Structure 1
């Protein structure tokens, strides 16, 4: 039994050494202006975290409005996800990442100079300057409860005619609220393509604006190094 314990401990130490080899130990040094800008970006991220609902849009497909008896242009599948600040076991540095959960792929971790994307044992690094973030307002026919930080801008019918009026052939037809959300689309030439829907559209917009400002400061900061 003693020999078995020693062999197990030896194997454990070997695996720990192998695990340490897969950690990326980074020393991130930011000039004062960039440090302040990342702090502001973090503040804007806090506002998105505090939104009542954030969804990962996993699919969006155009539909036949007449056949489906709806006023919607697209059939959207979404999954509620969690946003938070977090350390990553593979990235050894003093900064907590802005962590965006991904329902159908690797989670996104935003660090001061790069995106770290991780799924199970696979990961990728993308230069933050190579990532674009677009913001749009989207009108969503909400079949679930309406978040308290969202605006109801209209109503439609569960079953509609082509002109949007009530389809009277359905006796149990009912009204559905049309809610305005903010949509963030993160993309890069290397293949990043993620869309998030945020119940508080203003917080999503402010985060996008600060992200663009941060990219400008990062690009102009010649002294920034990893």
Structure 2
């Protein structure tokens, strides 16, 4: 056991050494010349008149509420279907037991017949619910809204297409995180960390959102938000859909472009999980650190942790906001540049 322990210790030391070398290399590649950004975009031009916006807003809200009613009904039927099929499966088991007892006793009992009839009834009801659910899902295809983009000039629509394509390119980054709540670390001494805040993030592999609710001749730019929410951006129109697990009405907002705000700033992040291949490693800290960022010498297993520079892009309206950490700086800057072209 002593030799195995020594070999494991040597392996861990070699692995730590290789990680340290890779971290040094990444930090030197990032170099001291890295640039921190802090930019905002606002003042997107209004394309649609207010009366048209109000008409469109009413149509979108009414259609959304109708869809929520259908989703709510589907959800209820799904639960009933599950309950009936579960009872049907239980009836199968009881029927088999009752039939076996009848065979052993060599006499007829009414119980097997009753349970068989109940079993068939429950299974038939389950299929009836399945048919109704399919019918409701098909009816969702009719609950859509089409947005007329004829109010925008052709050259402006081309700029929007460029911005939409650049947002798709952002998903080619090695890592994109949906940024959630930020929680300040009140006792950094107790936590043994130099970080000032704890950020909840979710790594997402696909920035695209499958939304067929509002359509137009031009694909929108869609930004995911918490839960099943998203912000859908068309030329001149913004649709914000909030997470709505209970399918309640009116969890949607429609805005003009002058309500849109796009921010980009560089965020330093202590990355103790996945280290993206295309991220800039600008510094390091320690697993257990003093307030000034230096190593806490009381811990022997105190390894270095990279500090990564992410480009954080946030998109917000009056009462809806979503933000992303993007590992690839060039993709993030290109998207911001294409969005800026929609103002000029």
Q: Please give the TM-score of this superposition, normalised by the length of structure 1.
A: 0.80
- Report the Cα distance in structure 2 between the residues aligned to 1:173 and 1:11, rounded to whole angstroms: 60
Kept in 1: contact 2:224–2:322 (CA 8 A): no
Is 1:158 the counterpart of 2:255 in the alignment? no
Kept in 2: contact 1:79–1:103 (CA 8 A): no
Question: Residue in 1 aligned with 2:200?
Answer: 77
Question: Residue in 1 aligned with 2:143?
Answer: 22
- Report the Cα distance in structure 2 between the residues aligned to 1:13 and 1:156, rounded to whole angstroms: 55
Q: Out of 142, 148, 157, which is 1:35 matched to? A: 157
Q: Residue 116 of structure 1: CA displacement?
A: 2.5
Q: Residue 192 of structure 1: CA displacement?
A: 1.2
- Report the Cα distance in structure 1 between the residues aligned to 2:217 and 2:193, rounded to whole angstroms: 50
- Report the Cα distance in structure 2 between the residues aligned to 1:13 and 1:178, rounded to whole angstroms: 50
Question: Residue in 2 aligned with 1:54?
Answer: 176
CA deviations 1:113-168 (Å, max 9, x no partner) are 22323345443323233110111101111011211110111111010112211111
CA deviations 1:22-73 (Å, max 9, x no partner) are 3212222231211121122123213312111111111112213222111111
Would the alpha carbon gap of residues 35 and 169 (structure 1) be closer, same or farther in structure 2, given more than 3 Å must change? same
Question: Residue in 2 aligned with 1:66?
Answer: 189
Kept in 1: contact 2:176–2:204 (CA 8 A): yes
Structure with more of its chain in strand, by fraction: 1
Q: Aligned pair count?
A: 209
Is 1:188 the counterpart of 2:323 in the alignment? no
Kept in 1: contact 2:240–2:320 (CA 8 A): no
- Report the Cα distance in structure 2 between the residues aligned to 1:111 and 1:87, rounded to whole angstroms: 15
Kept in 2: contact 1:98–1:109 (CA 8 A): yes
Would the alpha carbon gap of residues 17 and 182 (structure 1) be closer, same or farther in structure 2, given more than 3 Å must change? closer
State the superposition RMSD in angstroms.
2.8
Would the alpha carbon gap of residues 87 and 33 (structure 1) be closer, same or farther in structure 2, given more than 3 Å must change? farther
Kept in 2: contact 1:137–1:201 (CA 8 A): no
Q: Residue 82 of structure 1: CA displacement?
A: 4.2
Q: Residue 13 of structure 1: CA displacement?
A: 10
Q: Residue 16 of structure 1: CA displacement?
A: 7.3
Q: Residue 199 of structure 1: CA displacement?
A: 0.8
Would the alpha carbon gap of residues 110 and 162 (structure 1) be closer, same or farther in structure 2, given more than 3 Å must change? same
Would the alpha carbon gap of residues 46 and 154 (structure 1) be closer, same or farther in structure 2, given more than 3 Å must change? same
Query: Runs of 5+ in structure 1 lacking a partner?
Result: 1-6, 218-226
Kept in 2: contact 1:140–1:178 (CA 8 A): yes
Q: Please give the TM-score of this superposition, normalised by the length of structure 2.
A: 0.54
- Report the Cα distance in structure 2 between the residues aligned to 1:101 and 1:192, rounded to whole angstroms: 11
Query: Runs of 5+ in structure 2 lacking a partner?
Result: 1-127
**SS of residue matched to 1:167:** coil
**SS of residue matched to 1:208:** helix
The 5-angstrom pairing of residues 68-217 of structure 1 reads 68-85=191-208, 88-104=211-227, 106-118=229-241, 119-120=243-244, 121=247, 122-189=251-318, 191-214=319-342, 216=343
